[in-house]
């Protein structure tokens, strides 16, 4: 039986109050299974980023239930959510969010330091992750010594270092040229082939076409969900 990694059940998210209420998500149902590669699309204000934030435990639903690995998360404390993000979720953003004074290896190590992993083990795992993304020769380089594509690969290595249940990528190719975009998407394909579950937010059809499923958001609702 294929396991559900993440489930949104009748999830709504509102901001503001009285006459200034904005409904960013409206009664959304979504099931993400282990091994899925889902692209999330929609215009600005469609709800796609809000859905991503809830999936990433960066925000809480106003109504409805979000389950990660079968466990409802909306009643967890902030500390419990932080631990969940560190151990069960990986994040890749349009901006790389690397520490400028740290090497590639040191940047990738960070999530394991917070998780309390033994120093020797975390160095071995970080080197392994950098090898997976094709940067074994660059482990001692700092971000200013790396191209944009290489910096994004470091960010991806950092995101997968704790073997997350879900890898969330928010416009991960938005700051890259077309050739580097292809390279990064090839890397996502390879990671998906190893069994990693990926949810990728994009506004580009070409990027979305690399996924196996596409969910289109409009006015806070999923208006189309298809398998490619």
Task: State pLDDT tens for residues 111-125.
Answer: 888 778 898 899 999
Domain count, the chain: 1
Q: Which domain holds residue 185?
A: 4-227
pTM: predicted TM-score of the whole model, two decimal places:
0.92
Biggest CA–CA distance in the chain, Å, is 57
Give all strands of the β-sheet with 4-15 in edge-to-edge order: 22-33, 4-15, 63-68, 71-72
Tell me what percent of the residues of the chain surpass a pLDDT of 90: 83
Task: State pLDDT tens for residues 52-110.
Answer: 999 999 999 999 999 999 989 988 999 999 889 988 999 999 999 999 999 999 999 99
Domain of 190: which CATH number?
A: 3.40.50.300
Encoded tokens for 223 = 């208006």
Task: State pLDDT tens for residues 122-132.
Answer: 999 999 999 99
Encoded tokens for 38 = 């889902």
What's the pLDDT score for residue 21?
86
Give all strands of the β-sheet with 89-93 in edge-to-edge order: 89-93, 166-170, 198-201, 37-41, 213-218, 221-227
- Min mean pLDDT across 140-144, 173-177, 209-213 is at 173-177
């Amino acid at each position: 039986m294929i396991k559900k990694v993440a489930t949104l059940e009748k999830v709504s998210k509102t901001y503001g109050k009285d006459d200034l209420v904005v409904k960013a998500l409206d009664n959304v149902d979504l099931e993400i299974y282990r091994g899925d590669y889902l692209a999330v699309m929609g215009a600005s204000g469609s709800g796609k980023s809000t859905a991503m934030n809830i999936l990433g435990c960066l925000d809480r639903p106003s109504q409805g239930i979000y389950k990660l690995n079968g466990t409802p998360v909306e009643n967890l404390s902030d500390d419990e959510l932080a631990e969940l993000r560190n151990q069960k979720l990986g994040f890749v953003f349009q901006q790389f969010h690397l520490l400028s004074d740290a090497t590639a290896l040191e940047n990738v190590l960070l999530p394991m330091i917070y998780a309390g992993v033994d120093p020797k083990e975390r160095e071995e795992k970080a080197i392994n992750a950098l090898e997976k993304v094709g940067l074994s020769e660059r482990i001692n380089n700092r971000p200013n010594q790396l191209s944009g594509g290489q910096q994004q690969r470091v960010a991806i290595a950092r995101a997968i270092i704790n073997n997350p249940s879900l890898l969330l990528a928010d416009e991960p190719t938005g700051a890259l040229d077309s050739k580097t975009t292809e390279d990064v998407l090839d890397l996502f394909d390879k990671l998906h082939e190893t069994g990693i579950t990926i949810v990728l937010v994009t506004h580009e059809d070409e990027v979305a076409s690399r996924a196996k499923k596409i969910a289109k958001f409009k006015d806070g609702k999923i208006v189309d969900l298809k398998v490619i």
